[in-house]
Amino acid sequence: MNALIREVQGRLVNLVGQAVSVLPGLVFALLILLGTRIAASWVRKGVRKAATKTVKSLSLQSLLVQTSYVTTWVLGILFACIVAFPDLGLGDLVALLGLGSVAIGFAFQDIFKNFLAGILLLLQEPFSIGDQIIVSDFEGTVEEIALRSTQIRTYQGELVVMPNSIVFTSPIQVMTGKPQRRTDLAIGVDYNTPLPMAIETLSAAANSVAEVNPNPSVEVDVTGFGDSAIDLVVRYWTHPEQKSVRRIKTQMMLALKQACDDANINIPYPIRTVYHFDQEKYSDAEPIENSMAQASTDNINHQAESLG
C-alpha cells in the first residue's frame, strides 16, 4: 500500500514538474496571440490605406484587406504553437495541419465553400460594393462582400446576409451594371384617337421630362388592341439607380397625363357591354309549358279513342 502511494505521489510530482516547465511557453503563446490581435488590426488598417491609394476596385480592396487580416492570424497562431510546444518541429506541424485539414474540411465544408466563393466573387467582380442587384428573391444595394457572406441592404432598409455560395451559383441581375437603364411605361388611348397624333403627343411629353436621357431617344410603340383601348408603351432611358428610376417614373406619368388632357386624348376605363331583355316578352319557360300542355291533351285524346 505504501509503495502504491509513493508511486502516485511520484507521478503527481512529475506532472506538476512538466506543467511548470510548460507554463512559461503557454504564457508566451498567449502573449503572442494578444500581439497577433493587435498586429492584425494594424495590418488591416495599413493594407486598407495602401489599397485605397493603389487599387480602384472596391471589391479588390476588400479582398486584400481580408486576406491580409486572415494571414496575420494564421502566422501568429503557428508561431504561438511553436513557442508553446518547443518539441513540435516544423515537419510535425505540417503533418498535423495536413491531417487536421482533412477532418476540418469534412466538418466545415460549407464554410470553406462560402470562403472560396467569396474569393471568386471578389476576383471576378460580377458586381461591386454599392451596386444594386437582384439575387434570389432579394433586391437591394450591396454593402459588403466578405469572405463568407454578402450583405445586401434592401430598399425598405432591411439587411440581408446571404452566403457567398448561394450568390455565386444564383443568377444575378445587376441593375446598376451600366450607366443607363430603360423603363417601359404602358398607356392606353381611346379607339377614336388618331394613332400618329397620339404617338407624337406622348413622345413630346416624354422628352419634356428633365432627367430623361436624350440618347438613346424616347420610343413610343403600339403594342396591341386591348378590350377597351389601344395599348402603347413609352420607352425611355434614365440613370440606373432605383431612386432615380422611381422618381422619374412619377414625373413621366404626370407629364403623359397632362399631355393627353391638353390634346383631348381619352385614356379609357375598362368597358363591359351588358345586354338586358324583357323577361315577360321573351320567356324561355313559356314554350316549354305550352308544349307540355299540348302533349298532355294529345295523350288524353288518344286514350279516349282507344276506349271507344
pLDDT in tens, 171-218: 999 999 899 999 999 999 999 999 999 999 999 999 999 999 999 999
CA distance 120 to 75: 23
The CA-atom distances, in angstroms, between 267 and each of 229, 231, 240 are 8, 10, 29
**301 pLDDT higher than 60:** no
Q: Which of residues 65 and 135 earns the better pLDDT score? A: 135
Same fold, 122-174 and 188-300: no
Half-sphere exposure for 83 (CA within 13 Å, toward CB): 17
Candidate ranges 60-64, 75-79, 112-116, 155-159; pick with highest mean pLDDT: 155-159
Contact 234, 184 (CB under 8 A): yes
Cα(235)–Cα(249) distance, integer angstroms:
11
Q: Which residue has the higher pLDDT, 91 or 211?
A: 211
In whole angstroms, give the CA distance from residue 233 to residue 126. 31
Mean pLDDT of 55-63: 71
Q: Is pLDDT of 31 > 70?
A: yes
Q: What mean pLDDT is reported for the chain?
A: 80
The domain over range 188-300 is classified in CATH as 3.30.70.100: yes
- The reported pLDDT for the residue numbered 146 is 84
Per-residue pLDDT at 86:
66
Q: What are the tens digits of pLDDT across the range 250-272?
A: 999 999 999 999 999 998 887 66
Mean pLDDT of 152-162: 94
| Sequence-separated contacts (24+) of 194-199 with Cβ below 8 Å | 195/222, 195/230, 197/263, 197/265, 198/230, 198/232, 198/263, 198/265, 199/232
122-174 adopts what CATH topology? SH3 type barrels. (2.30.30)
Q: What is the pTM of this model?
A: 0.62
- Residue-wise pLDDT for 205-248, tens only, equals 999 999 999 999 999 999 999 888 999 999 999 999 999 999 99
Residue 158 near residue 186 (C-beta atoms within 8 A): no
Domain ranges of the chain: 18-92, 122-174, 188-300
More confident site: 73 or 60: 73
Closest CA to 193 of 157, 164, 220, 166: 220
Torsion angles phi and psi, residue 225, rounded to 5: -105, 110
